Structure 1
């Protein structure tokens, strides 16, 4: 019997409303119910009206007629229905996956994935290569089912711990509590990472209108030729829960670190603690406030003398900087406050830091420090030893106190060091030291200036790997180009060794050595020779300073008393004027002969990185010629002569053998003396020059 069209329309309307709200099994059973009610031809009609297959409708009819129990809530198919999982079809899939994600020493050593990021896509590709067909979602499901998750690295390994680590923590804790109980200031100090200014990418995100992110440069290592940088140095008051950040624009040096503490004390410390007599500083073991830096301690001594405070410093053990209070009570909040925000100017940095607050009541102030703090400043061991620094009984290298007065010397501030350095440069420019007047020295500087600038630009090009890097265009070098030329002239003139220059200028040997090496290369390229002085050089900085008050116009450089006595006419057989003339005539060919011999031994030109023919520290070329003359005069034994020049017998004998051919080639005749002295004291006693007997206990080199 045909089913009327009216019934067909009613079915279509009913199914259109109901079926979208049913799941797969519910739709199948609903269709089967209607088909059973229609009787013969119902299955075909329902299939035609809904667009499903007749097989699906018949499957629903069979389920209704079988009388099976309803499925549990939430299930569409009975247990075991549907396609088998990948690990069931391929029992070796899961072991293969575990072999890939286990530690490298347990995984497949031949797998390309050993040195590749273990992403889902890479894992699926490697499994497919091994014959296990699988997709990335299946890999994700299997990993999660076996207890795996996406994880980064965890900074938990501290390496070898110092044996005094815990004891130092306890000592710092005791000192902090004792100072706080007495109402004395306690601060935690450290330097934050240097930041470039400009539209540069910053980590983190902040809320903005959708689709309107801040436009920044796509690379952070280049932002134009005149980008500025800032170095935030923080001081955290542990008692008042306040922070003070000194934003520098130069290098993060020990001088800058102490200058930051000084500025905090002037701005906040002396107002918050008007009756303070002590200051406790807790700092890291490294960085600009390292316990190894002499400059850090010297600058703190100057700060203590200015403020009248007893400064106590306690350093955290190496590798434990995260325990320093400033890290998680100040710097972490500053970092979160400027996340996702480019630091476009100094004012933005200051305002962002000053706006940092916490629910615990943290207040922060910030100030800009435009001063210059060049690198390379040095404090000698002798200068450090006379400062009023007292090491504590417990781990004195990390814990020490600096008295506001006492000691045998007054420590200088950074600006005072710069002024003293400028005065020393004026001293070194003395024509009696340089061997040239001011006009000749200025002409030499002008001649080398273009080559120095080209060399500096070439060096910057090599350091940055050919890229154009950010630079402020400001020269903050400790030594100017003119200073480098003056130092090199003094050095090549053999006025004094590098150690004396370091002590005079307060500059470390690396900076001095690099300046001399670079300038010496320029002098060689332009074939400019600096003739060494023919008299002795200074071996101590104090001697050169004392000479500055001398009035002897006859000599370029005054000799030490002992060696000046050796130029006495009674010993050399000629006047000092004649001796100087002979030395002037012989010193250049002697230096040329020595360089020719060294060139022959090394098989070529001087190699980069060597001392560049720099004179020896114990005896100069003039000393060698003088020693040979005295030896030819047969005044004393070779051992006595070595004692007078404070060198070893072998060194003296080698020098004599080098000079004798030069004397013979120039036809210089040396007349033997009439008297032979048994000892160095007898020889010196025969002269009219005040002298100091050489120290026989001092080892000769």
Structure 2
């Protein structure tokens, strides 16, 4: 009975039971337990300490066995991430939080040797690389729904340039990179979002007129895993984005006063592309007002899901699926409770001001602004640098 009971128990409870049995046996109990019951004396002594002190000694199973790969290769995670991130994209349907990458584990191993200087004898197996990618939340799969509909001739060159700029910025102490974009209109009302909930709720079809509409706009700082959300009661225009950028920069400059360069990743949307006159005008004004260099690095057309901020939309959509967004407060409350890689959003705010659409500059008004823009030759629409007025000469 003693042996069977000990086998059913685990950890501290098992040791305390063994100590109680030995105490009941009295003098010579440890020898009897070791000889007849097959119990270890060290385990019995440990259980006796726990029994007398009333404090359980934690088991350190994590320190047993072989060390994890990252113990021997501390930079492995960051190196894998730097290889995979430029080729990773969010699920375009936003129905999952998965990040998809067309690279294979074999290709990642090859790049670790060729680009990062690892020796083949030090690297783990392909299966281990696959496990590490799963821990990072990246799925090595080329999915049809993720493939772009079209591809412009400059696509590969754009991706290469974006990768170079992003890597350079992430390693610069005086620069910071942000990714911005807006999500599709969210209807406020008892509308079904296609998810499941344990509480039975009656939902309406999306064909009905909503009580209100919100347009989420997000700014994501990839290196710091920091997210900021604004929900607009009206359209998200170039002026709206510029005002939110100024709002964010005021906060960032207080925290990091040494910053003098801002790199913006975007997807060439209608209000923030490299030819949107009002957007470029506001960025020039922003650069001069804050004495900061701005570099715009756009992703290629039809490849917007590679923009890092898109991953936040997938998480947010999965977070409030199954819920009825019956009010603005509920929508904002759910946005505040979402997390990406264990980090919640730093900003979630409603903007009630309605911005005017269709604000444009004439060619004459745009001429002095265009002189301030340094466009990359051959890729003029996708890479633009704006220097503050003191440095622009």
Question: Could you state the TM-score of these two structures normalised by the residue count of structure 2?
Answer: 0.59
Number of the residue aligned with 2:125: none
What secondary structure is seen at the aligned counterpart in 2 of 1:170? Answer: helix
Number of the residue aligned with 1:392: 376
Task: State which of 141, 161, 164 in structure 2 corresponds to 1:171.
Answer: 161
Task: State which of 367, 381, 397 in structure 1 corresponds to 2:349.
Answer: 367
User: 2:270–2:276: 8 Å Cα contact kept in structure 1?
Assistant: no
Number of the residue aligned with 2:178: 187
- What are the Cα deviations for residues 486-540 of structure 1, in whole angstroms up to 9, with x where unaligned? xxxxxxxxxxxxxxxxxxxxxxxxxxxxxxxxxxxxxxxxxxxxxxxxxxxxxxx
TM-superposed CA distance for 1:364, in Å, is 4.4
Task: Structure 1 unaligned segments of length 5 or more: list them.
Answer: 1-152, 409-701
Number of the residue aligned with 1:229: 213
User: 1:231–1:251: 8 Å Cα contact kept in structure 2?
Assistant: yes
Higher strand share: 2
- What are the Cα deviations for residues 82-130 of structure 1, in whole angstroms up to 9, with x where unaligned? xxxxxxxxxxxxxxxxxxxxxxxxxxxxxxxxxxxxxxxxxxxxxxxxx
User: 1:165–1:317: 8 Å Cα contact kept in structure 2?
Assistant: yes
What secondary structure is seen at the aligned counterpart in 1 of 2:229? Answer: strand
Aligned residues: 247
Correspondence 1:274 to 2:266: no
Counterparts in 2 of 1:251 and 1:359: CA distance versus 1, 3 Å: closer
TM-superposed CA distance for 1:407, in Å, is 11
Counterparts in 2 of 1:299 and 1:167: CA distance versus 1, 3 Å: same
Task: State which of 374, 385, 391 in structure 2 corresponds to 1:401.
Answer: 385
User: 1:168–1:316: 8 Å Cα contact kept in structure 2?
Assistant: yes
- What are the Cα deviations for residues 611-654 of structure 1, in whole angstroms up to 9, with x where unaligned? xxxxxxxxxxxxxxxxxxxxxxxxxxxxxxxxxxxxxxxxxxxx
User: 2:235–2:355: 8 Å Cα contact kept in structure 1?
Assistant: yes
Instruction: Work out the CA distance in 1 between the residues paired with 2:343 and 2:146.
Output: 30
What secondary structure is seen at the aligned counterpart in 1 of 2:196? Answer: coil
Number of the residue aligned with 1:214: 201
Instruction: Work out the CA distance in 2 between the residues paired with 1:348 and 1:380.
Output: 42
Number of the residue aligned with 1:349: 331
Structure with higher RCO (Cα < 8 A, 6+ apart) = 2
Instruction: Work out the CA distance in 2 between the residues paired with 1:172 and 1:215.
Output: 46
Task: State which of 331, 340, 346 in structure 2 corresponds to 1:358.
Answer: 340
User: 2:332–2:348: 8 Å Cα contact kept in structure 1?
Assistant: yes
Task: State which of 311, 314, 319 in structure 2 corresponds to 1:332.
Answer: 314
Which consecutive aligned stretches of 4+ in structure 1 deviate over 3 angstroms post-superposition? 218-221, 358-364
TM-superposed CA distance for 1:385, in Å, is 2.0
Instruction: Work out the CA distance in 1 between the residues paired with 2:248 and 2:207.
Output: 32
RMSD, aligned α-carbons: 2.2
- What are the Cα deviations for residues 242-281 of structure 1, in whole angstroms up to 9, with x where unaligned? 1101111111221122222222223x42234221101000
Number of the residue aligned with 2:300: 317
What secondary structure is seen at the aligned counterpart in 2 of 1:166? Answer: helix
TM-superposed CA distance for 1:154, in Å, is 3.9
What secondary structure is seen at the aligned counterpart in 2 of 1:350? Answer: helix
What secondary structure is seen at the aligned counterpart in 2 of 1:282? Answer: strand
Listed as ranges, the matches of 1:74-223 within 5 Å are: 154-183=144-173, 184-208=175-199, 213-223=200-210
Instruction: Work out the CA distance in 1 between the residues paired with 2:146 and 2:340.
Output: 27
Instruction: Work out the CA distance in 1 between the residues paired with 2:290 and 2:155.
Output: 32
Instruction: Work out the CA distance in 1 between the residues paired with 2:291 and 2:198.
Output: 49
Which has the higher Rg, Structure 1 or Structure 2?
1
Comparing 185-194 with 370-379, greater Cα deviation is found at 370-379
Higher helix share: 1
Instruction: Work out the CA distance in 2 between the residues paired with 1:370 and 1:182.
Output: 37
User: 1:279–1:311: 8 Å Cα contact kept in structure 2?
Assistant: yes
Instruction: Work out the CA distance in 2 between the residues paired with 1:182 and 1:219.
Output: 47
Question: Could you state the TM-score of these two structures normalised by the residue count of structure 1?
Answer: 0.34
Listed as ranges, the matches of 1:225-624 within 5 Å are: 227-266=211-250, 268-328=251-311, 330-361=312-343, 363-387=345-369, 388-393=372-377, 395-405=379-389
What secondary structure is seen at the aligned counterpart in 1 of 2:224? Answer: coil
Task: Structure 2 unaligned segments of length 5 or more: list them.
Answer: 1-142
TM-superposed CA distance for 1:406, in Å, is 6.2
What secondary structure is seen at the aligned counterpart in 2 of 1:334? Answer: helix
